[in-house]
Amino acid sequence: MTLNFIPGEPNATVQATAQAKWKTHSLLAYCSGNNLIVLSSDLCNLQTIYLPGDARAVDIHARSGRIAVAVGAQVAVFRPAQEYMALPRWIPDITVVNPRDNSSVNCLHWGNTDLVVGSDASLALWSFRDEFGVTLHSLCWSMEQPNPVYMVKLTPQATQIAVISKYDRLVKVWNRNSFDSELTFFDLVYLKHPACVTSLRWRSNGSGTETLYTVAVDGVLRVWASYEVDCFHNVSQWGSLAFGTGFVLVLDKLLLGFSDVVLVVKDGQVRVYHVSNVALDPPKLVTFDQVAERRIMAATFPKSAKLVVFAEPLVRDNGDLSIVVHDLVGGTIRHNSLNLAKMLLGASNGFVDLNLEHMFTGHTKSVQQVLRTFDGSAMLSISRFNENCVWVPLSLHSSEGYTGTTLAKKSLVFTASPIRKAVILDDGTRPQVVALLCDGIQLWDACAKIAQLRASLPLDAGDPLCFLDLPEADKGLVHVVAIYDELVRSWEVDLRTYSISEFPVDPLPEIETIHRLAIVDPVGWKVDLNNENNRDVLSVIDRNGVFRSFSAMVGDSISWIETCRLETGMVDVSALRGSSVKKVAIVDAQGRSLTIWDTQRKVLEYEEMFEENDVRGDKTDSILSVGFASHILMYCQLRYDYTNSMPSFTPIKRIDIDYTTHTIGDSLWLKDGTLVVAAGNQFFVSDRQLDLTHDPVTAKSLSSRIITHNDIFHLCAVLNGPLPVYHPQFLIQCLFLNQSELVKTVLLRLYKFLRKLDLDPNASLNDIQSTLGLNLEKSLDLQGSLSPHGSGENSFTDFNDAFSLALVQKLTRVSLPYLTRHQQSTLVSVVEILLEIEKHSRSLDVNGLRFFIGLKLYQYHRATQEAVSIRDINWALHSENKEALLQLTRSVAGPEGWASAKATGLAYWLPRDSLAQHFEAVARAEFTRARSPAGCGIFYLSLKRKQIWLGLWKTCVGHPEQLKMMLFLKNDFRIERWRTAALKNAFVLLGKHRYVDSACFFLLADSIKDACSVIARKMDDIALAIAVARVYDGDSGPALRALLETEVLPEAVVLGDRWTTSWVFWILGDKRKAIQLLLRVPADMVADLTAVQCARVERGSQNFLQHDPLLLILFANLRHKDVHYLHGSAEVSPAEEFDAIVNVAQIYERMGCEYLALAVLKNWSFV
């Protein structure tokens, strides 16, 4: 992952930037408004330091790491927090104020341990030293100046000071005669120039004399040598280079290691000159020899630059030269890397090996909002004042290749008053801005560096809730809409004639109820000329959580079409963000809970609680960015997984901006997966790359998968794209669809491919095809799973124990692409399950086999799964081979006991007589396990075997309650007196929280409803309550009905659990409703059931997990099975059935099983 900064626009002063190398850190510091921006670690680590006012100059002391910055009449000095740090930080050290001068400081420069400071009225030299970790400073020398000091440079040994004023043709060189900290003297020498001097640079100290390079507006570089003659200090010119109108950068020998070099940048070219005879003692005439001429890339140097300043260059660890270019007019800093050796050797394409690695610019004041064009090719940033900018993405490169994406400032939009709302348009040739101000609406052409006002229309209105443009087929004609509290206005903007006119628009339906509204994310829109008005453009939600989305129809007027209405159950939401892919992210009133909804299918796909407040979201396609105060989490949509109940979104990337004290204000997506985060006056730009090494969020989402491309889109394709046919989820779904022959074929082809890896040295895992060469459109025939007949042809007969063992051995040695270790382990389980299915295929019907699949999956996932699912229970319920299934559960669940019976769901699907027989075995097992009759009493009393229970109490010698229980159980509980006594004891035990004993005494008192209520509510064991009710009172008894209607059905309806509600009505004997509930919403089906007091349906009922595609498969199976089911299914209208089929196809697509979606649509037959 590459995170680039747009820390803020540099101040337009000649010394607003400084570059140096301190220890192992390459440092860049620059002034931006009242902030000091410090970048370290190859400019990948940012620190923002607030200053009391706007800064004018900054310099870095390379030896100590101190940074001096000029703010007003003060010089603030910052020091490193520690001597050695991986990510250095600077803290305030001291503040320097000249007691003889209160004018503004314009420039400063470090030399040795001294700092020279130039102000409007004086020139001063300060000395610094450390004593026991404390910085001490003293004023060595101060001299009033007739003109404000514009630029000052101190030699590395602090022996000479070169000074100029603005438009000065005389360079003043002060030569230091005394190094006494209390009494310092200087001699003054004037260096006359024929034109105004613009730049000064002392050569880095080596052997020989001090050498000064000066540049004047006449386009001449002059070299001055300082030397002593007869005890007098002299400075004379010893060479010059006439370069014309370009810009000059001097690289001296100490920097490069071989000789001085001068680079002249002019008209998109760079000329390289070798400097000879420099810094000799005595001096000699300096000569310049051109050694190379190359072209430079346009982005590396400001175009049509008028005033450019080079910060002091430095050599990085890899040998590349770090060059910082400050464009004072354009307000940008470009950081380039140059491989000088390659340039001198020559390049075949004629271009210099100069790479733009960073570009620093931005706003001087805080950004209020960021907006983008519909395709994400440009963006607009709006500040609190009249400064607004249009930006475009810019790729950065180094000698090692691509290094990330930043933003290039394309145009400045200066409005008379702050922009309230705006849209940025792009007709394919240039970006244009439609801005809504307090007194009008304006159209700006942002083609040039300074945007031009093209049209305006007076307007008298307040601040709108939102301002949006509508998708158009004609890019030259745009309609924009402003939505106010109870008013909607629109305008037609002609980008070809630059005109704005009012346009009629219908009121937004129920506008008075709107609590929050948001423009639907336009990134990813693809204009369809025949269907451009059917895309959602607006999302709204009221205070009660009713969400609505709208598209707009443009004709003679603009009309609104409601495309979705959804009850979310969320009150007073704090944030809302919609997307054109039919997803909406909603944050609750406290800013802690994030929910993601599919508005097309009207289901809740994801919900997460956060510990911190202020959650905001921004979405593109299937990636959601969630913003907090100082970091952003990117969420990727996952495939649906109904086998493991996995969430449908997961975080894949984290972006931290905790190195700035600004909090995140806004964010947006640009094209190619670039995320721009606005914080204060700064931007942070994250490209599509992933940090697989340092980001734990990415590492967790990737798990043990191996991906071939390191970017978010490839990871999303792995997590959310179509599954390879060897993926266990696809194979498991095929098994549930009775397509075991297809699964055999897939596994056989997988084995052949893995065997090929052993035999062919040129074969690679990356060569594996997602389909393994299968033509799935021909292979998938679901008629066998949608009807009571067989599953089709038997193509292979060699799937046996030997083959299964060989395949499992290979899967344990080879990690398949795009599978986690857990998924590959599940694939091994599928191989073993298929082998078991082969053994039991003749003794079990299709629903029995489906239960067996679920039972085996539970066995393999017992560590994370407590019991078989209610879906598996329904398979067993509708199987004709329940006794055979009971035998299989014993081999899977382990020893007989209530824990095993509960895990396999026996209470739900086993016939009452069989359940009673099994209850007796459970009772014996529970007594054997605990060696106490207390734990097995519920089971014996449910069977009405009080005497057996009494006999067990007689055998428990030494039990503290043995005598009391024996005496009490000898009574005849058919007599009212003893039933009343048992009932009183039950309530006493209930008050003492002895719930098991309480339930036993309720059974003794023949109060089965109270016993079931205690078991369900106090013991929290609804399965045991159902089993007790069925065994004690029968399937048609009032106890079971009361339990289902009060404890099971209400919760199932609230959650929208169709499997459970269908099971309830089957148990209650209503097969007509049982089959209908497989397709219909439970809340609609039980509204007329007076015995059920259902609470308000919460958003859990809309969870995507409640829309299991296998519900449709069971529906198809049952309506061919029984006349009651057939009559019930006939009440489901063809339209409902069609919607259910389309919904299941969409679910299979979200599961990554697109071939199954196609098979359902292709093979379904209506009755």
Contact 374, 669 (CB under 8 A): no
Q: Residues 543-601: pLDDT tens digits?
A: 999 999 999 999 999 999 999 999 898 999 999 998 888 889 999 998 889 999 999 88
Please compute the mean of the pLDDT values over residues 460-489 and round it to a whole number: 89
> How would residue 883 be classed by pLDDT, with cut points 50, 70 and 90?
very high
pLDDT at position 825 is 92
Which own/partner pairs from 1036-1041 qualify as long-range (CB within 8 Å, at least 24 positions apart)? 1036/1069, 1037/1008, 1038/1009, 1039/1008, 1039/1009, 1039/1012, 1040/1067, 1041/1068, 1041/1091
pLDDT band of residue 617 (cuts 50, 70, 90) is low
Task: Kindly report the average pLDDT of the chain as a whole number.
Answer: 88
Mean pLDDT computed over 24-52 = 90
Give the three-class secondary structure for 1039.
helix
Using pLDDT thresholds of 50, 70 and 90, give the confidence band for residue 231. low
pLDDT tens, position by position, 400-444: 778 888 898 899 999 999 999 999 998 777 899 999 998 899 999
Provide the greatest CA pair distance for the chain. Answer: 135
Those residues whose C-beta lies under 8 Å from the C-beta of residue 954, and which sit 6 or more positions away, are 962, 966
The 3-class SS string of 191-251 reads EECCCCEEEEEECCCCCCCEEEEEEECCCEEEEEEEEEECCEEEEEEEEEEECCCCEEEEE
The beta strands (E) that lie in 506-648 are given as 514-519, 536-542, 546-554, 558-567, 575-579, 583-587, 593-598, 603-609, 616-620, 623-627, 631-637
Residue with tokens 């609190």: 384
User: Counting beta carbons within 10 angstroms of the beta carbon of residue 939, is it exposed (0 to 12), middle (13 to 18) or buried (19 or more)?
Assistant: buried
Residues 507-511 have a mean pLDDT of 91
Q: What is the dihedral of CA 790, 792, 793, 794, to 10 degrees?
A: -50
Q: Tokens 């175009």 appear where?
A: 303
Q: What is the pLDDT, as a whole number, of residue 782?
A: 54
CA nearest to 291, candidates 276, 269, 321, 271: 271
Helix (H, G, I), strand (E, B) or coil at 464: coil
* Residue 127 identity (one-letter amino acid): S
> Per residue in 1002-1037, pLDDT tens?
999 999 999 999 999 999 999 999 999 999 999 999
pLDDT value of residue 306:
79
Whether the predicted pLDDT of 1040 surpasses 80: yes
Nearest CA-CA partner of 810 in 768, 872, 867? 768
The SS3 assignment for 592 reads coil
Q: How confident is the model at residue 796 (pLDDT cuts 50, 70, 90)?
A: very low
Residues 258 and 251: their CA atoms lie apart, in Å, by 10
Taking the C-alpha atoms of residue 300 and residue 1018, their distance in angstroms, rounded to an integer, is: 73
Cβ(461)–Cβ(436) under 8 Å? no
The per-residue pLDDT for range 10-28, each reduced to its tens digit, is: 999 999 999 999 988 999 9
What would the two tokens of residue 564 be?
Answer: 């979705």
pLDDT tens, residue by residue, 928-952: 988 889 889 999 999 999 999 999 9
pLDDT surpasses 50 at 907? yes
User: Which three-class secondary structure state does DSSP give residue 4?
Assistant: strand
Q: Name the residue with higher pLDDT: 183 or 683.
A: 683
Residues with Cβ within 8 Å of residue 62, at least 6 apart in sequence:
20, 21, 22, 110
pLDDT at 699: 86
Contact call for residues 803 and 755 (beta carbons, < 8 A): no
Residue 48: C-alpha distances to residues 314, 422, 481 (Å):
23, 29, 39
| Per-residue confidence (pLDDT) for residue 789, from 0 to 100 | 38
Contact 550, 540 (CB under 8 A): yes
Collect all residues with Cβ–Cβ distance below 8 Å to 590 and sequence separation of at least 6: 574, 613
Q: Residue 1093 pLDDT more than 50? A: no
pLDDT of 627 reads 87
pLDDT score at 787: 41
Cis, peptide link before residue 282, omega less than 30° from 0: yes
User: Residue 793's pLDDT is what?
Assistant: 40
In this prediction, residue 751 carries a pLDDT of 92
CB 89 within 8 A of CB 41: no
The residues facing 139 across adjacent strands are 126
pLDDT higher at 190 or 474: 190
So what's the pLDDT on residue 523?
58
Across the range 711-731, mean pLDDT stands at 90
- Domain 368-505 -> CATH class: mainly beta
Which of the two residues, 397 and 734, has the higher pLDDT score?
734
Q: What is the pLDDT of residues 120-177, one digit of tens each?
A: 999 999 999 988 889 999 999 999 999 999 999 999 889 999 999 999 999 999 998 8
Question: Are the C-beta atoms of residues 451 and 444 closer than 8 Å to each other?
Answer: yes
287 to 43, 212, 241, 274: CA distances (angstroms) = 36, 15, 8, 8
Residue-level length of the chain = 1167
Global pTM reads 0.78
**Residue 615: its pLDDT value, please?**
64
CA distance 776 to 770: 11
